[in-house]
């Protein structure tokens, strides 16, 4: 369970980095890390029978796709 | 960055690998066949010649195990195992199956069928089952404090319109069966020390009521509670107050009869069997600790006075002082019509070395039928000759009336640790389907003083539940993650087929099934309408090694629950017992780890078998296709439903009697390692589970009574 909590917290951190970070190579790295983390967490949720967590990770996947489709310029610069 | 990425990927990779493991197993989920499970002993071509009359010297060399099924019997005579029959008591007109719903004893009924004729809950509506009440006793310990871990395997009993439960802190709680409200409690104030067991254990209480109650007098209905320190408490079933006329003001000190090798008290963990005017007690001891231990005497006492009526000892008196046990530590069954009580008798001491008891001890590791009123042996059938594997007969035989080849037979099925189901005529002990004496491996010469039985009994029907003709296949995932550790372990373990004896060589001998057993004390349920037997069983591999005393003293570390080092003090050998796991704690043998099966008792054929439950490690559930090791047994109803907890995942389940399909499940506080109870109260059918846990399964304890029923319409 601690593994899942840690993984979920890392996903939240990843989301912040993707949201506030730029669109450079770091974006790609963190996007891939987020995808792997979400995949790992949903598999863990499956094996833990934590269906609520599996449902939450579906939103993470949706967020990752939305991030890809987001503005190409860094949000800080846009502001 | 790299570190973070690795940290992130690692769990995903591990879990992905687990998924890879799950998929092939899931594909095999509906494969209920087990072609290997028809064998046992040494196959025809590889049978050793017997070593001579009686028990023989060690074999010279271990013959390579064979994958071929054993088809060539050595003999099908009863002479090697069956003791001459004594006189049957005069029959009484008491039916084997009660005409009304009964769940007033450990196995539901004295016939140990664990069968309820209730039909309110059916295979069609069981999915609507709801938890209608639960009760927490508060009597549990995880072992972190001063108290030892609790292991609670009590089956609630329903009698006197009350649900009675015993707890591992040796209290009795009387509950309203419909609401769970407490009627009364009784505290024995017994010592909470693990005097003979690795944990505080309790399997419940027993109940008696007078056939001729005296109005206005207490203790016309009595509840009995046994304790770790060998005290039997008798209390009024209506009030919970001790029965002053019973023994010493309501307490019988059973240890007063512990007069040979009294190394430890006679722990009364299994509730007594109450039949007619008899309260019959076996007891549990301290396994694997001593070569010379208390002999396993069974006592019958008067239900109201506690006065001893008769006793039975499986060990001849001249042998008892230098060995011990052959006790009855589990439930017994009774045919009141025939006037017989059936005892599952355990192995003599010490468990894994028999050099101090080289004579034949025919009543040890047996099913023995006694005259209920006198305690005299009517017949006895030995299931393991010269037992050096701790293959205690660990469950009450299930009594059943069956029809085989057009002949009606009052039968008895004895499930065993070995995964064998022996079926005999319960009047005489003679087999229903042939039981063959097959040649088995001898020793390798590494154990001084030991002798070996040249043959052992093997049933032909039903087929053995486990395939013990060869080493079980290695689970490739455990082997891969263990970097070949499992393969190396398999190579280093001796095994020449079932009954390969303990050894000092290499890593010892492979033991399959494990010391806890293929089938455990939950025993076999039976549906008398469809003549179907239901049994759950585990697949667990252990290794056993004997160490000469000096070597043992240098090596011995701690012992756990059913594994670790054990001294066998007084024997020239100490021993170790270890589960066959890799460094990650994964089983080295291939799943399933536990199954449940239904057997047609007209033919002895297996109707269906399937994995049961799910294994769990660090909170992760493995796929149900892998099954779970189980502790605790099933119950079956006329509604066509099998209820069982028992699995590692702390779920209670309902299966269809017809095809084994899982129909319902719920999560409880801890593994429900007790048989469920089924009862009717005020027109409503209830199913009660006790979720108490057992550290043999996993480190999770509970104190929950969970009771289910259909919603009120």
pLDDT in tens, B256-303: 999 999 999 999 999 999 999 999 999 999 988 899 999 999 999 999
CA-closest candidate to residue B223, choices B314, B157, B318, B131: B157
Does A68 or B478 have the greater pLDDT score?
Answer: B478
Kindly write down the DSSP assignment for every residue of B350-390, as one continuous string.
STT--TT--S--TTSSEEEEEETTT--EEEEEESSSS--S-
Helix, strand or coil for residue B348? strand
- The pLDDT value recorded for residue A67 is 83
Question: What does each C-alpha distance from B410 to B155, B214, B407, B528, B677 come to in angstroms?
Answer: 27, 36, 10, 12, 25
Least reliable range by pLDDT among B63-72, B332-341, B343-352, B519-528: B63-72
The residues pairing with B366 across neighbouring beta strands, listed in sequence order, are: B382
Q: What is the DSSP letter of A57?
A: H
In percent, the amount of chain B with pLDDT more than 90 equals: 83
pLDDT grade, residue B559 (50/70/90)? low
* Residue reference for tokens 């590791």: B365
What are the phi and psi torsion angles at B534 (to 5°)? Answer: -125, 130
Those residues with Cβ within 8 angstroms of residue B406's Cβ, 6 or more apart along the chain or in another chain: none
Distance CA B384, CA B440 (A): 11
Least reliable range by pLDDT among A19-33, B161-175, B262-276, B422-436: A19-33
- CB < 8 Å to B1, chain A: 29
- The pLDDT value recorded for residue B48 is 34
Distance of CA B484 to the CA centre of its chain: 33
Distance of CA B206 to the CA centre of its chain: 18
Least reliable range by pLDDT among B27-41, B373-387, B468-482, B611-625: B27-41
Residue B134 CB neighbour total at 10 angstroms: 16
What are the phi and psi torsion angles at B479 (to 5°)? Answer: -70, -40
pLDDT grade, residue B398 (50/70/90)? very high
Distance CA B703, CA B597 (A): 29
Kindly report the average pLDDT of chain B as a whole number: 89
Q: Touching check for B626 and chain A: CB below 8 Å?
A: no
- Say if B9 falls within a structural domain: no
Q: Nearest-CA distance from A39 to chain B in Å?
A: 7
- Say if B258 falls within a structural domain: yes
* Residue B193: pLDDT over 60: yes
Those residues with Cβ within 8 angstroms of residue B137's Cβ, 6 or more apart along the chain or in another chain: B165, B167, B169, B171, B173, B703, B705
* Residue A78: pLDDT over 80: no
Do residues B300 and B317 touch, judged by C-beta distance below 8 A?
no
Distance CA A37, CA B163 (A): 50
Distance CA B410, CA B54 (A): 32
Do residues B430 and B77 touch, judged by C-beta distance below 8 A?
no
Do residues B696 and B671 touch, judged by C-beta distance below 8 A?
no
Answer positive or negative: Cα dihedral of B505, B507, B513, B517. positive
Do residues B475 and B586 touch, judged by C-beta distance below 8 A?
yes
- Say if B220 falls within a structural domain: yes
* Residue B563: pLDDT over 50: yes
- Say if B5 falls within a structural domain: no
CB contact under 8 A, B13 and A40: yes
* Residue B36: pLDDT over 60: no
pLDDT grade, residue B6 (50/70/90)? very low
- Say if B110 falls within a structural domain: no
- The pLDDT value recorded for residue B19 is 37
> What tokens were used for B106?
């450990």
- The pLDDT value recorded for residue B55 is 60
- Say if B179 falls within a structural domain: yes
Q: Touching check for B16 and chain A: CB below 8 Å?
A: yes
CB contact under 8 A, A39 and B12: yes
- The pLDDT value recorded for residue B80 is 58
CA-closest candidate to residue B107, choices B688, B532, B645, B675: B675
Q: Touching check for B15 and chain A: CB below 8 Å?
A: yes
Distance CA B509, CA B352 (A): 11
Rounding to the nearest 10 degrees, give the CA dihedral for residues B227, B537, B697, B617.
-170
Residue B304 CB neighbour total at 10 angstroms: 17
Distance of CA B102 to the CA centre of its chain: 22
* Residue B124: pLDDT over 90: yes
Least reliable range by pLDDT among B43-57, B152-166, B187-201, B279-293: B43-57
Does A79 or B497 have the greater pLDDT score?
Answer: B497
What is the chain B residue with the closest CA to A38? B12
* Residue B32: pLDDT over 60: no
* Residue B229: pLDDT over 90: yes
- The pLDDT value recorded for residue A48 is 87
Do residues B642 and B657 touch, judged by C-beta distance below 8 A?
yes
HEC per residue, B505-549:
CCCCEEECCCCCCCCCCCCCEEECCCCEEEEEEECCCEEEEEEEH
pLDDT grade, residue B75 (50/70/90)? low
What is the chain A residue with the closest CA to B19? A43
ipTM above 0.90?
Answer: no
- The pLDDT value recorded for residue B1 is 34
**In which element (H, E) is residue A35 found?**
helix A25-48
Distance of CA B582 to the CA centre of its chain: 26
Those residues with Cβ within 8 angstroms of residue B550's Cβ, 6 or more apart along the chain or in another chain: none
- The pLDDT value recorded for residue B2 is 37
* Residues of B involved in catalysis: 390
- CB < 8 Å to A8, chain B: none
Distance CA B620, CA B609 (A): 25
CB contact under 8 A, A47 and B15: yes
pLDDT grade, residue B306 (50/70/90)? very high
Distance CA A44, CA B12 (A): 8
Q: What is the DSSP letter of B491?
A: H
Half-sphere exposure of A10 (CA within 13 A, CB side): 25
CB contact under 8 A, B622 and A29: no
Query: B71: domain range?
Result: 31-83+115-709
* Residue B8: pLDDT over 80: no
CB contact under 8 A, B18 and A43: yes
- The pLDDT value recorded for residue B116 is 98
Distance CA B408, CA B324 (A): 39
- Say if B6 falls within a structural domain: no
For B9, which of A36, A41, A46 is closest by C-beta distance?
Answer: A36
A→B contacts (Cβ < 8 Å), by residue, are: 1, 3, 7, 10, 29, 33, 36-37, 39-41, 43-44, 46-49
pLDDT grade, residue B14 (50/70/90)? very low
pLDDT grade, residue B192 (50/70/90)? very high
Residue B583 CB neighbour total at 10 angstroms: 10
- CB < 8 Å to B621, chain A: 47-49
Distance CA B611, CA B613 (A): 7
Distance CA B229, CA B253 (A): 9
What are the phi and psi torsion angles at B107 (to 5°)? Answer: -100, 25
CA-closest candidate to residue B462, choices B523, B498, B414, B417: B414
With b for 16 or more beta-carbon neighbours within 10 A and e for fewer, the B219-238 pattern comes to: bbbbbbbbbbbbbbbbbbbb
- The pLDDT value recorded for residue B44 is 37
pLDDT grade, residue A21 (50/70/90)? confident
In percent, the amount of chain B with pLDDT more than 70 equals: 87
Distance CA B372, CA B369 (A): 9
Least reliable range by pLDDT among B68-82, B153-167, B396-410, B447-461: B68-82
Best to test chain A binding among B4, B8, B26 (most A CBs inside 10 Å): B8
- The pLDDT value recorded for residue B347 is 96
Distance CA B223, CA B208 (A): 7
Distance CA B267, CA B281 (A): 10
CA-closest candidate to residue B106, choices B250, B237, B279, B234: B279
CA-closest candidate to residue B228, choices B188, B172, B179: B188
- Say if B493 falls within a structural domain: yes
* Residue reference for tokens 């404090």: B145
Residue B669 sits in a domain of what CATH number? 2.140.10.10
Q: Nearest-CA distance from B623 to chain A in Å?
A: 8
> What tokens were used for B274?
């109450």
CA-closest candidate to residue B133, choices B163, B90, B104: B163
Mean pLDDT of B308-323: 95
pLDDT grade, residue B9 (50/70/90)? very low
Q: How many domains does chain B have?
A: 1
- The pLDDT value recorded for residue B525 is 98
Those residues with Cβ within 8 angstroms of residue B712's Cβ, 6 or more apart along the chain or in another chain: B684
CA-closest candidate to residue B501, choices B34, B71, B51: B51
- The pLDDT value recorded for residue B288 is 85
Do residues A21 and A30 touch, judged by C-beta distance below 8 A?
yes
């Amino acid at each position: 369970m601690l593994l899942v909590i840690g993984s979920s917290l890392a996903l939240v951190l990843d989301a912040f980095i993707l949201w506030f970070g730029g669109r450079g190579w770091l974006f790609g790295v963190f996007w891939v890390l987020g995808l792997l983390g979400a995949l790992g967490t949903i598999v863990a949720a499956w094996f833990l029978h934590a269906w609520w967590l599996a449902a939450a990770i579906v939103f993470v996947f949706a967020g990752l796709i939305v991030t890809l489709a987001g503005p190409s310029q860094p949000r800080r610069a846009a502001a | 960055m790299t570190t973070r990425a690795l940290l992130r990927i690692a769990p995903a990779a591990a879990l992905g690998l687990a998924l890879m493991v799950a998929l092939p197993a899931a594909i095999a989920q509906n494969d209920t066949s087990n072609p290997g499970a028809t064998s046992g002993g040494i196959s025809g071509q590889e049978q050793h010649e017997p070593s001579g009359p009686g028990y023989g010297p060690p074999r010279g060399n271990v013959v390579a195990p064979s994958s071929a099924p054993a088809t060539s019997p050595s003999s099908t005579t009863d002479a090697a195992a069956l003791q001459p029959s004594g006189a049957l008591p005069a029959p009484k007109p008491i039916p084997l199956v009660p005409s009304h719903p009964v769940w007033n004893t450990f196995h539901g009924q004295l016939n140990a069928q664990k069968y309820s004729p209730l039909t309110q809950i059916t295979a069609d509506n069981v999915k609507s089952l709801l938890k209608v009440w639960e009760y927490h006793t508060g009597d549990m310990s995880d072992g972190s404090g001063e108290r030892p871990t609790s292991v609670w395997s009590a089956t609630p009993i329903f009698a006197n319109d009350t649900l009675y439960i015993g707890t591992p802190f040796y209290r009795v709680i009387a509950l309203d069966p419909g609401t769970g409200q407490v009627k009364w409690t009784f505290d024995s104030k017994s010592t909470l020390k693990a005097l003979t067991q690795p944990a505080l254990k309790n399997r419940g209480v027993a109940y008696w009521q007078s056939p001729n109650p005296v109005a206005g007098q207490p203790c016309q209905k009595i509840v009995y509670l046994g304790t770790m320190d060998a005290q039997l408490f008798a209390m009024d079933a209506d009030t919970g107050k001790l029965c002053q006329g019973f023994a010493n003001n309501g307490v019988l000190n059973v240890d007063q009869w512990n007069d040979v090798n009294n190394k430890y008290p006679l722990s009364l963990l299994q509730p007594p069997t109450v039949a007619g005017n008899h309260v019959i007690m076996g007891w549990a001891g301290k396994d694997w600790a001593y070569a010379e231990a208390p002999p396993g005497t069974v006592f019958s006492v008067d239900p109201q006075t506690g006065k001893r009526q008769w006793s039975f000892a499986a060990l001849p008196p001249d042998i008892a002082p230098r060995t011990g046990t052959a006790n009855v530590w589990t439930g017994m069954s009774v045919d009141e019509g025939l006037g017989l009580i059936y005892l599952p008798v355990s192995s003599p001491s010490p468990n894994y070395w028999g050099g101090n008891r080289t004579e034949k001890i025919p009543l040890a590791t047996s099913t023995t039928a006694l005259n209920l009123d006198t305690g005299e042996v009517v017949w006895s059938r030995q299931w393991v000759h010269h037992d050096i594997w701790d293959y205690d007969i660990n469950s009450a035989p299930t009594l059943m009336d069956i029809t085989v080849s057009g002949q009606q037979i009052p039968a008895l099925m004895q499930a065993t640790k070995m995964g064998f189901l022996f079926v005999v005529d319960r009047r005489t002990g003679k087999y229903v389907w042939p039981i063959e004496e097959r040649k088995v491996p001898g020793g390798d010469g590494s154990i001084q003083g030991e002798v070996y039985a040249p043959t052992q009994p093997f049933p032909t029907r039903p087929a053995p539940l486990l395939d013990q003709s060869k080493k079980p296949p290695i689970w490739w995932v455990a082997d891969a993650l263990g970097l070949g550790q499992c393969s190396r372990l398999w190579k280093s373990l001796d095994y020449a087929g079932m009954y390969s004896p303990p050894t000092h060589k290499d890593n010892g001998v492979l033991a399959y099934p494990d010391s806890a057993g293929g089938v455990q004390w939950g025993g076999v349920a039976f549906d008398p309408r469809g003549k179907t037997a239901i049994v759950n069983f585990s697949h667990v591999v252990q290794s056993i090694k004997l160490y000469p005393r000096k070597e043992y003293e240098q090596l011995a570390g701690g012992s756990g629950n059913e594994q670790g080092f054990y001294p066998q003090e007084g024997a020239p050998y100490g021993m170790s017992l270890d589960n066959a796991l890799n460094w990650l704690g994964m089983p080295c043998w291939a799943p399933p780890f536990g199954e449940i099966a239904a057997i047609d008792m007209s033919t002895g054929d297996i109707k269906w078998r399937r994995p049961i439950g799910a294994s769990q490690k660090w909170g992760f559930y493995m796929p149900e296709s892998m099954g779970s090791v189980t502790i605790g047994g099933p119950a079956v109803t006329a509604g066509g439903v099998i209820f069982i907890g028992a699995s590692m995942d702390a779920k209670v389940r309902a299966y269809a009697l017809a095809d084994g399909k899982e129909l319902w499940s719920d999560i409880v506080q801890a593994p429900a390692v007790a048989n469920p109870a089924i009862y009717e109260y005020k027109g409503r059918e209830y199913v009660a589970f006790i979720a108490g846990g057992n550290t043999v399964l996993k480190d999770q304890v509970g104190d929950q009574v969970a009771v289910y029923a259909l919603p009120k319409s």
